[in-house]
Structure 1
Amino acid sequence: MSRSSSVPPARRASLLAFAAATAVGLATASAADANFLATATDPAGDAADPARDITAVAMSYDRRGGELLGAIRFRGEPAEGTRSFVTLVAGTRTATGCNGYPAAGFGSYSDEYGASWLRFDDGGGTAAAKGDADKRGGGTTVQRFEIADRGQLAGRKLDCVTATVTEAGNAANVYDAVGPIALVGQPSLALRLSGVPRVLSPGRSRKLRLTISNAGDAPTGRVRLRLGSARGLKASPRSISLKSVTAGGTRTATVRVSLSARARTTTTLKVTATAGALQARQQADLFLRKPSSGGGGGGRGTGSCVRYQADLSGESGGSLILVPC
């Protein structure tokens, strides 16, 4: 049995326009990077028909690349006799709900593989942009939608999501609805090493700079840096804790590294940055200056190859060093 809509009138008008304007089609798109993410579950059984009963919703939005990805899960598989029209929309919060503009999202019949995307800039009922979207899982309990269009979807200020299942051809008859769901900014984590020396003499230390950057849309939380261990490699400090990196911000740390005579000719310095579930890795090769190829056990048992090369970096005045072949 269907139930009456609790969707605000402004959003209902948008859904009607969305349903009327959607042309079923299929196109491919690249996967979205989640700068913003919305997820929610919905109690099973609040819609009588399992094929029209939403149990979970997710949407991600990359506002830089203009990539939008959504997913919806039903309690049962839709079929021709239980088909419905699905709208999954990211919009803007107002005092009455997720019914402001701009808004962008997907529309599709639940038993089909075709889908479309639309963007609304105001409440006039006419889509400012539209096109085909990639859909997977048509006619199944889990259906996914995807579109990437930097020119039409990038840079939109979207902060909430709604999912609605309506009667095919009659958007005013709502079987199930979920939302508003907050579309929350996500942090990102990147790590860069600088000041890495081309070659190190045994026992001589050099200072390296570690730079953490966050190109995302939320703070990272506390960041922990860890330097890996290797034979003959000394790093101080080996573990560093940094304060949270704000969205668009950076933080730096410095460490000193040195190689003893026991180190291999080529030693890989591995650095890992962790902030919650985020992790970034970076590595750099440190070359040990040795008087001959026999010293320090460089490369023994590793199958590596080394050769002499003139060091013209100015640090040693033109001596010979061993480098990988």
Structure 2
Amino acid sequence: MNNFSYTKANSIDEAVSLTHANEDNKLIAGGTNIIDLMKYFVTEADTLVDINSIDGISDLAEVDNGSIMIGALMTNADTAYHPIVEERYPLLSKAILAGASAQIRNMATNGGNLLQRTRCYYFYDRHTPCNKRIPGSGCSAIEGYNRIHAILGHSENCIAVFPSDMCIALAALDAVVHISGADGYRTIKFSDFHRLPGDTPNIDNNLKKGEVITGIELPEKGFSKNYSYLKLRDRSSYSFALVSVATGLELENGIIKEARIALGGVSHKPWRVEEAEDFLTDKDANKENFAAAADIILKGASGFQHNSFKIDLAKKAIIRNCMMAMDPSSQRPGAKPSL
């Protein structure tokens, strides 16, 4: 770990000022990702700016339009177990609890979850080329061991995947990210927050220099009656998804009035295809229609030497998760959905 200074920001304006002044000054809240990155010398910081003392962004608040705001400094655990989240947004609660470990969820913050970086082996290995770590150096994963890597949205410069569980649910819920920066306050639709790699895989999101996430707004509709989060991984705990699916359905007499489907573990950002959701509108909620929607979502998917299995796995996961969303009780341990 390189030498660095440490300071506290007691307001959003102070945090913005400190990070805008020097791009090598980094924010720290829970520290569950940035400390690892610094230990591996993947990230360096001139100054770590501790934002935990900032008031007003560590709680959940209801908004006049019926939505709720979850503060950027609220921990993942406090968010998942909050009664309003459990009642109105159970999809988000389940997704958060599928991620990391209880100890990490007790430390990790919502804002930090959005900003976490890929767990690609080559990104963490400073002795191998990585365009995300050093632009222009190459992508070792393309010809390397790429079992966990992307099947959608990748480029010749990067095939890394985004690791969050929480963000897959936020994508399905149409969340909105609230941000403060040197140019003032703004919002970003969740679908526009993260980026595909393209020619700049080193840039993970569309935050501007010095901007600070202050909160995440969840629209009033939370799909609390018909929802499911499915995470397929190599072991049942503390492991990142090979494929994950967040599904929210609004049903009326077995007919789909609205559908939301987002995938994780398959791309550089949460993957959602509105064409597939539109296809399902006003159709019967059945395996055949979910399979057709899965084909739309996975259109153009392509794998590499070690991860092509993910394409078929993703299709089966989408179908299974949509069927589970029709009956959330099927998600109890040991229960089996009707397929």
Q: TM-score, normalised by structure 1?
A: 0.21
* Larger Rg computed on CA atoms: 1
Q: Of the two structures, which has the highest relative contact order with CA contacts closer than 8 Å and spacing of 6 or more?
A: 2
